[in-house]
Structure formats: C-alpha cells, structure tokens
Amino acid sequence: MRTYEVRYLDNSKVQLVYSSFGEVKRVVTIKVGDSFYVQPDNPKKLLHRGRHCIIKDFQKDDIGNPSQVIVTFSDNGRSGKVDIQDLVVTPKTAEDLIQPSPQNDLPRFLPEEVPGDLLTRNELKSMGRKPVRNCSAYVVYREQPNEFELYHIDDSIETKKQSGFSIVRKDFTLTEVLEKRQRALRVRRKQLPPQ
C-alpha cells in the first residue's frame, strides 16, 4: 500500500515522502520556481498527465497543510492545480517504456511507430470489427503507465449488424481510421512538451 507524507519546510518549500509497505521509495523536495512533470501513480488518474509545469505556489487545506500546488503549464502558459503527490522530476523515457517485461515478450510500440496493420480495440470497434485472437503487440504512452493491446486486422471479424435501417453510416474504413490516428498524433505532439 502506498502512502504519501508531505513535510512542510517553509513557505516556498515542501518535501514529499513516498513509501510503499513501510519502505521509502522516493523523497522529492518541491520549491516554488522548480519544474516538474505531472505523472500520477494511479493509472486511472489522467488529468494533466504527462504535462510539464512550473511551481507557482502551494494551496493548503483547512488545517494548513499543503495539499495541492498551483502551477503554470509549459505547453500553453495557463495556470492549474495539481495534487502534490502527482509530481515527478523526470517522466519515464521512451526506452523504459518499450522494454518488454520478462513474463510477456510481445513487442511494444510508441504511438508514432505503430504499423498500419495493428489496431487498438477501439479502432477495430469503430470499423465494426472485434478481435478473435489474443493481442499481437502493445502501444505504450510516455505519460501513461498502462499498455494498450494491438491486434492484427486479419485476426478480427465483423460484428453483427444492428437490425433496422439507419441513414447514418456507422463504420469507418481502414484508411479513415489511420487518418484519425495521424490527426490524434499531431494533436498529441502539440500538447506534450518536447523531449
């Protein structure tokens, strides 16, 4: 079980102690003016994940303990609030992400390097298809700890169509799905800080 302890050093400096099952994993000193990355340990916490920020001030709870930091994000210059425990000094590098785990030796791809014949479950679903075999590879994102399964398009079948008539076309073609992927990658490159 992970626990966080915030030690108040002075008005412009706090220390965050992260421990797991009683063993200290990391100690981070956070000062006003320092730069950090937002990378929560909780994989379901996606708000501001992967963004680079500069600390402006600390926000305290009703007892007076610092609980959040007020930051300026580097990508758009706007301010926001981030939980103290979600800050890390350096994010995971691309080399750390694409290393296969010992129990699962399937290849891992960064989003920019995914081949056109490998699709995620959501991309297959938008084409009206579903996978019938196990995944062939994984796509990993620098700002997210979890991996997303990739399937060969040949290892999928068409889903049963809904009965009834609809004027709106529901399924995309493979080229349309790949174009949507490229647009999403362009937007992602604009939002993430340069490496």
Could you tell me the CATH number of the domain that includes residue 38? 2.30.30
- Shared domain check, 101 and 51: no
Q: Collapsing DSSP states into helix, strand and coil, what is residue 112?
A: helix
Closest by alpha carbon to 80, among 105, 106, 49? Answer: 49
Q: Which amino acid is at 94?
A: A
Question: What is the separation of C-alpha 70 from the centre of its chain, rounded to a whole number of angstroms?
Answer: 21
C-alpha dihedral (76, 80, 84, 89), degrees to nearest 10:
10
Phi, then psi, of 116 in degrees rounded to 5: -70, -20
Taking the CA of residue 159 as centre, how many other CA atoms within 13 Å lie in the half-sphere pointing to its CB? 14
190: in domain: no
pLDDT (tens, 9 = 90+) of the chain, 195 residues, equals: 678 888 888 888 888 888 888 888 788 888 998 888 888 878 788 888 888 899 999 998 888 888 899 999 988 889 999 998 888 887 655 555 555 555 467 888 888 889 988 998 888 888 888 888 888 888 888 767 678 889 988 888 887 765 555 555 667 888 888 899 898 888 888 777 666
15: in domain: yes
The total of structural domains in the chain comes to 2
List Cβ<8 Å contacts ≥24 apart for 10-14: 14/58, 14/66, 14/84
Single out the residue in 53, 70, 88 at which a domain terminates: 88
Query: What distance in Å separates the CA atoms of residue 83 and residue 68, rounded to the nearest whole number?
Result: 4
Query: What distance in Å separates the CA atoms of residue 89 and residue 48, rounded to the nearest whole number?
Result: 15
Query: What distance in Å separates the CA atoms of residue 77 and residue 84, rounded to the nearest whole number?
Result: 19
- Shared domain check, 139 and 175: yes
User: 128 is in which domain, residue-wise?
Assistant: 94-185
> From start to end of the chain, where are the E strands?
2-10, 13-20, 23-31, 35-38, 52-60, 66-73, 79-83, 87-88, 108-109, 118-120, 129-131, 137-140, 147-152, 156-158
Closest by alpha carbon to 43, among 113, 120, 149, 140? Answer: 140
- Shared domain check, 49 and 29: yes
> What's the predicted TM-score (pTM) here?
0.49
- Shared domain check, 175 and 139: yes
